[in-house]
Amino acid sequence: MKEYYPNIPKIEYEGPASKNILAFKHYNKDEKVMGKRMSEHLKFAFAFWHGMNYDGTDMFGGGTYDRTFGQKESREKAKARINAAFELMQKTGFEYFCFHDVDICEPSANLAELKTNLLYITDYIKEHMAKTGIKLAWGTANLFGAARYQHGAATSPYVESYAAAACQVKNALDATIKMGGIGYTFWGGREGYDTLLNTNMEFELDNLARFYRMVIDYGRSNGFKGTFYIEPKPKEPTMHQYDFDVSTSIAFIQKYGFESDIKLNIEGNHASLAGHTFEHEIRVARINGLLGSIDANHAETLVGWDTDEFPKDVKSTALVMYEILKNNGLQYGVINFDSKLRRPSSDELDNAIGFIVGMDTFALGLKLAAKIIEDGRIDEFVRNRYSGFNAGIGEKIVKGETNLEELEEYALSLEEKRLPSGRQEYLNGIINELMFS
Ligand code: XLS
Ligand code: NI
Ligand code: NI
């Protein structure tokens, strides 16, 4: 078979001293961290859309990066893209991938063609999966690119758009089931509004829930045992998106009773767009038992939109991996990479390097998170901070054995005193110390 990336060798672990950019310095897949292999902690999934399709186009100009794979727009090009993707995944060591329906096949003039194209290309992908052992993490449908979704898909005021979305999701879910995916993602790119002046929010949300119910029922009755995920994002492309952040999405999941089927797929860049840290969003999902999967792309926070960068901030990945370790791993998902090329990064090596550096950043984060937990000072500090609730009146509060009268009596018996320090300076110092020890 033709080699698409002759300049990219199989990426091996060479250790921290290596100066070879086409090598892992920290991601050593068989190395054990807290009793588990790195590759079990870090189930990396390769995202097709930016990984193989994005060509650098932005609001101000066209593509800068060659995504033709030596072909003209056609089925041959779609197949070449799949060949190239599997070559890149094998060379960089990805064990999973994820896709939008439209990413993996040639452009389709209508829904019927998309269905046919998807059936064809998924047969083709399955051959690659069988040969390489690479697995499907999750699939999804692109319900935001086509003009038919200009007012939304499952929240559109138009039945035609709603039905089209149902058709596309049915076929994308069939494709996911066919390729053995462990998840299916709902990302509501156009599920929201641009102005409340033309929007019946209550009706749109009820309709969205009816949509998800139909998708879940269809999936379950067709053998899908995996997890459905909502991927929260507050805005872009719409002014306000209904899956604003993890808390908002949990309220939706709970209101409509989807707890046993839907969990969250949390993206770092979407967290910052919502005014949160990545670790905050994961914490909220984790403490509510709804952590599903991770979309690991990172924000360039100063620009204020979804840049979908490769992860490069070790402190952030450490705090993310800390949450994941506290969750006993991602029980229902993977860490997908949506590492979009920078528009000026127009060389074929840049894509591979983005993935390598992203994986290394997560490996460093994992090691640092393990150190934080093994060191124990931060966890101990947090435990001690709440120790007043372990005995006496505090314990009675926790057990629900007290009331306002008793608390008033207790409060009135106290002398005003200075409270202990929150010690952020000390705690951040510990992280720096562990990072460089
Ligand atoms: C866009 C989203 C999208 C989802 C999958 O902002 O991140 O790429 O991950 O539809
Ligand atoms: Ni995403
Ligand atoms: Ni995104």
- Tell me which ligand sits closest to the C-alpha of residue 308: 3
For the segment 179-192, what is each residue's pLDDT rounded down to a tens digit? 999 999 999 999 99
Six-digit token string for 369: 């998170």
Q: Is 3 left (phi over 0), alpha (psi -120 to 50) or beta?
A: beta
Mean of all residue pLDDT scores within the chain? 97
Helical packing angle, 348-375 and 75-92, nearest 10°: 40
- Identify the residues whose C-beta falls under 6 Å from ligand 1: 49, 100, 140, 185, 187, 231, 233, 267, 295, 306, 338
Mean pLDDT of all residues in 313-326: 98
187 C-alpha to ligand 1 centroid (Å):
6
Burial class (CB in 10 A: 0-12, 13-18, 19+), 181: buried
Query: Quick one: which atom of ligand 1 is closest to the CA of 140?
Result: 10
- Tell me which ligand sits closest to the C-alpha of residue 144: 1
- In this structure, which residue's CA is closest to atom 5 in ligand 1? 187
- In this structure, which residue's CA is closest to atom 2 in ligand 1? 187
For the segment 386-402, what is each residue's pLDDT rounded down to a tens digit? 999 999 999 999 999 99
For the segment 183-233, what is each residue's pLDDT rounded down to a tens digit? 999 999 999 999 999 999 999 999 999 999 999 999 999 999 999 999 999
Mean pLDDT of all residues in 301-321: 94
pLDDT for 144: 98
159 C-alpha to ligand 1 centroid (Å):
24
Pocket test for ligand 1, best of 267, 278, 293 (most atoms within 8 A of CB): 267
Six-digit token string for 139: 């699939």
For the segment 63-105, what is each residue's pLDDT rounded down to a tens digit? 999 999 999 989 999 999 999 999 999 999 999 999 999 999 9
Q: What percent of the chain has pLDDT over 70?
A: 100
pLDDT for 339: 74
Query: Quick one: which atom of ligand 1 is closest to the CA of 98?
Result: 5
Q: What percent of the chain has pLDDT over 90?
A: 96
Pocket test for ligand 1, best of 187, 191, 294 (most atoms within 8 A of CB): 187
Pocket test for ligand 1, best of 46, 48, 49, 191 (most atoms within 8 A of CB): 49
pLDDT for 337: 87
The DSSP bridge partners found for residue 227 are 183
418 C-alpha to ligand 3 centroid (Å):
45
∠324-291-218 over CA atoms, to 5°? 145
pLDDT for 92: 97
Mean pLDDT of all residues in 147-175: 98
Tracing tokens 């939304």 back to the chain, one arrives at 152
| CA–CA separation, 60 and 57 (whole Å) | 8
Assess whether 100 carries a catalytic annotation: yes
- Tell me which ligand sits closest to the C-alpha of residue 235: 1
pLDDT for 229: 99
Name the nearest CA neighbour of 270 among 238, 308, 237, 242.
308
Q: How confident is the model at residue 340 (pLDDT cuts 50, 70, 90)?
A: confident
Q: Which of 26, 41, 50, 100 is catalytic?
A: 100
- Determine phi and psi for 94, rounding to 5 degrees: -75, 135
Contact 219, 229 (CB under 8 A): no
Domains (range + CATH), the chain:
32-375 (3.20.20.150), 381-436 (no CATH)
141 C-alpha to ligand 3 centroid (Å):
15
pLDDT for 73: 85
Mean pLDDT of all residues in 149-153: 98
For the segment 267-281, what is each residue's pLDDT rounded down to a tens digit? 999 999 999 999 999
pLDDT for 250: 98
347 C-alpha to ligand 2 centroid (Å):
24
Q: Which of 26, 101, 103, 270 is catalytic?
A: 103
- In this structure, which residue's CA is closest to atom 7 in ligand 1? 267
